[in-house]
């Protein structure tokens, strides 16, 4: 059984800040330590990275590995998710998940729409699990985004709204840094990035009347 759902909300920040926070991988294992205290890179090929996220539960290290892909300027994919260790029963043995996250500017150009499209492939006998899976995935997405917004808001208070100079600095590490600088390295580039992001936005994209991120 295939099931698709979408999670759409507005984040009170610029497109550049939202993308920077997503690509700022150094915070994954710390600010998001509740969800992925151990983060490992398995391999990287171009804009595709295979990662392993694990945590210790009852003395056993469990987790998941997945493939992440960046489609500049503001589209992010996750797929091929596997539970770890593979011999332990896991929802990933039964349910195939693919997510596609789009960021694009709202109608005013001052906020960012986060538009997540989730495709689940669930065996028919487990169809009753779909609402629970959906609810948990939506909650997880919002919790992590709220943590990111805490970081974004504090940086905004300290350095000004839309300030991504810290991320653009030569020494600052982030995923796909050259792509990020290409698309967000100047106000003009960021404006064009917004236009490009809108060109590839889902057909269900909305830019007005979108609810603000909140639990």
Partner 1 sequence: MKILSNGKKAIVLKTGHDIRVYSEVCPHLGADMSEATYCAKAGTLQCRWHGYVFSAKDGTHLDNPNERMMQELREPSAHYRPDRAPRYRLPVVPHTVRGDRLYFTRAEAPQATETIIAVARDEAV
Answer whether 73's CB lies under 8 Å from 189's CB.
Answer: no
Instruction: Give the DSSP letter of residue 128.
Output: G
Decide if residue 74 touches partner 1 (CB under 8 A). no
Instruction: Tell me how crowded residue 90 is: count the other CB atoms within 10 A of its CB.
Output: 17
Which one, 44 or 135, has the nearer CB to partner 1?
44
Contact segment (CB under 8 A) with partner 1 among 40-48, 78-86, 92-100, 125-133 equals 40-48
Contact segment (CB under 8 A) with partner 1 among 58-66, 68-76, 149-157, 195-203 equals 149-157
Decide if residue 149 touches partner 1 (CB under 8 A). no
Decide if residue 192 touches partner 1 (CB under 8 A). no
CA 77 from chain centre, in angstroms, equals 8
Which one, 90 or 163, has the nearer CB to partner 1?
163
Alpha carbon distance 64, 52 (integer Å): 6
Decide if residue 40 touches partner 1 (CB under 8 A). yes
Decide if residue 206 touches partner 1 (CB under 8 A). no
Burial state string for 10-28 with b = 16 or more CB within 10 A and e = fewer than 16: bbbbbbbbbbbbbbbbeeb
DSSP notation for 57-103: ETTEEEEEEEEEEEETTTEEEEEEEEEESTTS--HHHH-EEEEEEEE
Decide if residue 26 touches partner 1 (CB under 8 A). yes
Among 57, 125, 128, 158, binds partner 1 (CB under 8 A): 158
Decide if residue 84 touches partner 1 (CB under 8 A). no
Answer whether 11's CB lies under 8 Å from 213's CB.
Answer: yes
Answer whether 168's CB lies under 8 Å from 159's CB.
Answer: no
Answer whether 91's CB lies under 8 Å from 83's CB.
Answer: yes
Decide if residue 141 touches partner 1 (CB under 8 A). no
Decide if residue 80 touches partner 1 (CB under 8 A). no
Contact segment (CB under 8 A) with partner 1 among 6-14, 20-28, 95-103, 124-132 equals 20-28
Tabulate helix, strand, coil % of the chain (nearest 5).
35, 35, 30
Decide if residue 186 touches partner 1 (CB under 8 A). no
Decide if residue 188 touches partner 1 (CB under 8 A). no
Q: How far is the CB of 63 from partner 1 (least distance, A)?
A: 14
Site residues (vs partner 1, CB under 8 A): 24-27, 29-31, 39-41, 43-44, 49, 151, 154-155, 158-160, 163, 165-175, 177-178, 180-181, 185
């Amino acid at each position: 059984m295939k099931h698709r759902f979408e999670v759409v909300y507005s984040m009170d920040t610029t497109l550049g800040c939202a993308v920077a926070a997503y690509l700022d991988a150094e915070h994954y294992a710390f600010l998001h330590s509740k969800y992925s205290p151990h983060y490992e890179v398995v391999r990287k090929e171009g804009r595709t990275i295979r990662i392993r996220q694990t945590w210790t539960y009852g003395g056993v290290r469990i987790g998941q590995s997945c493939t992440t892909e960046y489609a500049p300027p503001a589209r992010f994919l996750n797929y091929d998710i596997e539970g770890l260790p593979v011999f332990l029963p896991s929802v990933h043995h039964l349910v195939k998940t693919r997510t596609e996250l789009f960021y694009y500017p709202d109608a005013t150009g001052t906020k960012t729409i986060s538009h997540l499209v989730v495709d689940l492939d669930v065996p028919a006998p487990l169809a009753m699990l779909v609402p629970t899976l959906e609810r948990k995935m939506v909650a997880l997405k919002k919790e992590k985004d709220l943590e990111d917004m805490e970081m974004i808001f504090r940086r905004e208070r300290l350095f000004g709204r839309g300030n991504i100079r810290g991320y653009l600095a030569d020494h600052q590490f982030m995923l796909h840094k050259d792509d990020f600088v290409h698309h967000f390295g100047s106000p003009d580039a960021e404006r064009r990035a917004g236009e490009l992001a809108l060109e590839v936005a889902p057909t269900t994209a909305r830019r007005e009347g979108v609810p603000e991120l909140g639990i």
